[in-house]
Amino acid sequence: MTASFRPHRRRTGLAAAAATAVAFGLLPTVIAPPAGAAGAAEGFRVQLVTVDTPNRAAKALLSGLGLDMTEHAGHDYVEVVLHRAADAEALRAAGLTWNVRIPDLAERESEINTANRAYAASTQESPLPSGRDTYRDLADYNDDLGRLAAIRPDLVKKFALNHKSLEGKTVYGVEIGHNVRATEDGRPVFLMMGLHHAREWPSGEHAIEFAYDLVKNYGSDDRITNLLKKARVVVVPVVNVDGFEKSVNDGQLIDLRSVDDGGTASILATPGNAYKRKNCRIVDGQAPVAGECALVSSPGGFGAGVDPNRNYGGFWGGPGAAAEPVQATYRGAGPFSEPETQNIRELVSTRQVTALITNHTFSNLVLRPNGVAPDTIGPDGQPIGDPPDEAALKDLGDRMAAQNGYTSQHSWQLYDTTGSTEDWSYNATGGFGYTFEIGPDEFHPPFPKVIDEYLGVGEFAGKGNREAYLIALEHAVDARTHSVIAGKAPAGATLRLKKTFATPTWSGAIKDTLDTTMVVGAGGKYSWHVNPSTRPVVKAKQIKVISSEPLKRETFTGTTLPAMPTDKEFTVDRAADVFEVKLDWPTPDDLDLRVFRKNADGTLTEAGSSAGSVGVKERVFLENPEQGTYVLRVENWASVAPSWTMTAALFDATERTAGGLIENWTLSCEKNGRVLQQLPVVVDRNQQVKADLGLCAQKWTTG
């Protein structure tokens, strides 16, 4: 490592601020009895719990409670932060069960801070590209972005995004590439982002470490050098600057120390805003007054603000995005209502971003579009279906996940989301987009874990997210994965690609414009790497249509007493595409449905279940069911003796193509802002077309 890349030492301002705050009574000092002693439960401890969600209905039920859901979820669970006793009561009232995984997040935060101090004290510089040995605060990020530009001004350009935060802060990024300060030259763009969600500190660390990695190794690593000659890389490590500042400042202040009586003294009684998720929008349409965001009464700040990753325009307002401001996934007053999403929208809309990664924590996942299941009926009345590029999206996701050991899957397999980054970016531009959920089990684990996730550990040593990011960058520059427009034009001419269209939300549409430029080089030839002219959201898609007549159907009726389940058997005796079981009853009571496959030894294996809220009728939907005997179980949770009707049926299904438009770019050739020629260009993925700009050349000398 050269002297230019030696790590700068950590700031000591947080420790000084903590001491000052205690001295002047700005933060409470509390004495808590030892764990397990009488009175230990005097106040509710903010905790991380694993909620059982055996099916999509249970996930939907949980989503509707307005609790602080994390991105750590599987097919039968979602982890949730409980900030107050009322949150636990909401789970209990909904009939959901859970296990406590971290019983006191303040105590855990203190343990992490202690571990981080010990690591930093014993480490001159870490193995990370920057040598960093502890988490950055907001000032550190801004300093590092400036430092990168100062180290290699020919390679790195620091810039401010268009919109300041609600609290008036400037959001910064860097652009990295060979001869980066030259005019736009038609290279594709790879975008890397972090910290949409305030508490997800490793997401920003990985984004900026990738920037350091590229800058450090340019000129000495052939792979990176060649990539930066072919692409421009844009890194915005902190999208949500207001929220992150509150989270990291409060989180690093937590310092529980043993005292003589065996209790614990704390300079912060709760995690404060350490686990804040959203931005600082307190009241829709209004900027917060000074200090309002940090002092808002919502526990942990989780109920205050707009979730930036539900505020993007694509499918805004649909499943998985809350309508109420107090809920953790509040989508905002309207699509792109927040400066955070306006910044990223304008960044993507003015560059040909052929691939992007938005980093989050936690779950060890590589997520790809779409955010809702393909059988979900969309705003056009048709099933959403899979993305038209599903095979290629999956292939790249799988290749990246092979480097870090993460699971590659659809976003909706975590839980339904709409208004997320890729919901908009992929469907509006065609550039591939992914969410990385970094780490297995915590929002901001001990810092050495951040290092392990970036560089890889164990069987993934030397790979990790670093290698996954490089594979994504290789995808971004590969002309086979996007489109190319080439030809001849006057040297110095500005070429402009523009397209204005309606982006569908869940209840309407918004106007979107993509407007990008490049400047023709001295040779008069150009090759412009761009996204396809037809957006994925309007391309033809394959949807599965179930036949109206079943292959086989049986109807069962009965009455189920409380705590006395009723079982019925149904035999799948032929090949079928779909096995559907529907449970109905005439009262607004609560029944649940479980479907088991009977094994040869008589044991049962659960194949599906449905456990909606009171009044919601149950349905289990199994694709390509194995032949054999199934047990259909009715369970009674909220009625003295309800009667019910259950229907089991097998269906064939056919795939059909829905929709299918062809769109064009409008290509302009300009001189000093004057359009000399304009023509439509239709270009598909993995296609190169030539654009005839002869008229522009003819007018150039007189234009």
pLDDT band at 606 (very low <50, low <70, confident <90, very high): confident
Q: Does residue 284 lie in a domain region? A: no
- What percentage of the chain has pLDDT greater than the value 90? 67
Q: Which of 69-78, 166-175, 608-617 has the highest mean pLDDT?
A: 166-175
More confident residue, 5 or 366: 366
> Domain check: are 693 and 595 in the same one?
no
Residue-level pLDDT at 547: 82
> What separation in angstroms does the CA of 489 have from each of 91, 525, 535?
64, 6, 27
Residue-level pLDDT at 542: 67
What's the gap between Cα 177 and its chain centre? Answer: 26
Residue-level pLDDT at 503: 96
Residue-level pLDDT at 2: 37
Residue-level pLDDT at 607: 86
pLDDT reading at 164 higher than 50? yes
Residue-level pLDDT at 300: 67
Residue-level pLDDT at 68: 84
Q: Does residue 369 lie in a domain region? A: yes
> Domain check: are 445 and 457 in the same one?
yes
> Domain check: are 449 and 519 in the same one?
no
pLDDT digits (tens, 9 = 90+) for 13-64: 333 333 333 232 333 322 222 222 222 334 788 899 999 988 777 888 888 8
pLDDT digits (tens, 9 = 90+) for 498-523: 999 999 999 999 999 999 999 999 99
More confident residue, 544 or 535: 535
> Domain check: are 433 and 503 in the same one?
no
Is residue 94 within 8 A of residue 132, CB to CB? The reply is no
More confident residue, 301 or 386: 386
Element (H, E) at 628: strand 628-636
What is the DSSP annotation of 354-399? EEEEEEE-SSSEEEES-SS-TTSB-TTSSB----TTHHHHHHHHHH
Residue-level pLDDT at 343: 98
Residue-level pLDDT at 302: 74
Block residue for tokens 């609290």: 167
pLDDT reading at 605 higher than 60? yes
pLDDT band at 255 (very low <50, low <70, confident <90, very high): confident
Q: Does residue 490 lie in a domain region? A: yes
What is the DSSP annotation of 514-541? EEEEEE--TTSEEEEEE--SS-GGGS-E
> Domain check: are 421 and 464 in the same one?
yes
Q: What contacts 560, CB < 8 A, 6 or more positions away?
A: 566, 591, 634, 635, 636, 641, 642, 644
More confident residue, 509 or 385: 509
State how far the Cα of 318 lies from the Cα of 376, in Å rounded to an integer. Answer: 10
Is residue 579 within 8 A of residue 608, CB to CB? The reply is no
State how far the Cα of 14 lies from the Cα of 9, in Å rounded to an integer. Answer: 14
> Domain check: are 432 and 572 in the same one?
no
Neighbours of 63 (CB within 10 A): 22
Residue-level pLDDT at 22: 29
Q: Does residue 599 lie in a domain region? A: yes
pLDDT digits (tens, 9 = 90+) for 392-428: 999 999 999 999 999 999 998 877 899 999 999 999 9
Helix orientation angle between 447-455 and 201-217, rounded to the nearest 10 degrees: 50
State the DSSP code for 153: T
Q: Does residue 333 lie in a domain region? A: no
Instruction: Pick the last residue of a domain from 442, 461, 481.
Output: 481
pLDDT digits (tens, 9 = 90+) for 332-358: 999 999 999 999 999 999 999 999 999
State how far the Cα of 534 lies from the Cα of 231, in Å rounded to an integer. Answer: 22
> Of 500, 358, 475, whose CA–CA distance to 420 is shortest?
358
CATH of the domain at 224: 3.40.630.10
Q: Does residue 317 lie in a domain region? A: yes
Mean pLDDT of the chain: 87
More confident residue, 195 or 83: 195
| Signed CA dihedral, 553, 558, 561, 562: sign only | positive
Residue-level pLDDT at 77: 87
- For residue 516, what are the domain limits? 485-530+664-700
State the DSSP code for 616: P
pLDDT digits (tens, 9 = 90+) for 627-681: 999 999 998 865 666 789 999 999 998 877 776 889 999 999 999 999 999 999 9
State how far the Cα of 619 lies from the Cα of 583, in Å rounded to an integer. Answer: 6
Average pLDDT over residues 200-225: 98
> Domain check: are 428 and 509 in the same one?
no
More confident residue, 539 or 56: 539
Residue-level pLDDT at 7: 45
> Domain check: are 586 and 628 in the same one?
yes
State how far the Cα of 242 lies from the Cα of 166, in Å rounded to an integer. Answer: 7
Q: Does residue 80 lie in a domain region? A: no
Instruction: Pick the last residue of a domain from 452, 481, 510.
Output: 481
Residue-level pLDDT at 497: 98
> Domain check: are 237 and 376 in the same one?
yes
Task: Give the range among 23-37, 278-292, 402-416, 551-565 with minimum mean pLDDT.
Answer: 23-37
pLDDT band at 280 (very low <50, low <70, confident <90, very high): very high
Instruction: Pick the last residue of a domain from 442, 465, 481.
Output: 481
| Residue 299 three-state SS | helix
pLDDT reading at 476 higher than 90? yes
Q: Which of 76-85, 156-165, 326-335, 643-652 has the highest mean pLDDT?
A: 156-165
> Domain check: are 490 and 415 in the same one?
no
Cis peptide, bond prior to residue 362, ω within 30 of zero: yes
> Domain check: are 586 and 639 in the same one?
yes
State how far the Cα of 382 lies from the Cα of 502, in Å rounded to an integer. Answer: 18
Name the residues annotated as catalytic: 437
> Of 162, 130, 133, whose CA–CA distance to 143 is shortest?
130
> Domain check: are 494 and 552 in the same one?
no
Residue-level pLDDT at 640: 66
What's the gap between Cα 396 and its chain centre? Answer: 17
State how far the Cα of 532 lies from the Cα of 664, in Å rounded to an integer. Answer: 9
Q: Does residue 112 lie in a domain region? A: no
pTM of the model: 0.79
Question: 364: alpha, beta or left, given left = phi > 0 and alpha = psi -120 to 50?
Answer: left
Q: How many structural domains compose the chain?
A: 3
Average pLDDT over residues 532-561: 88
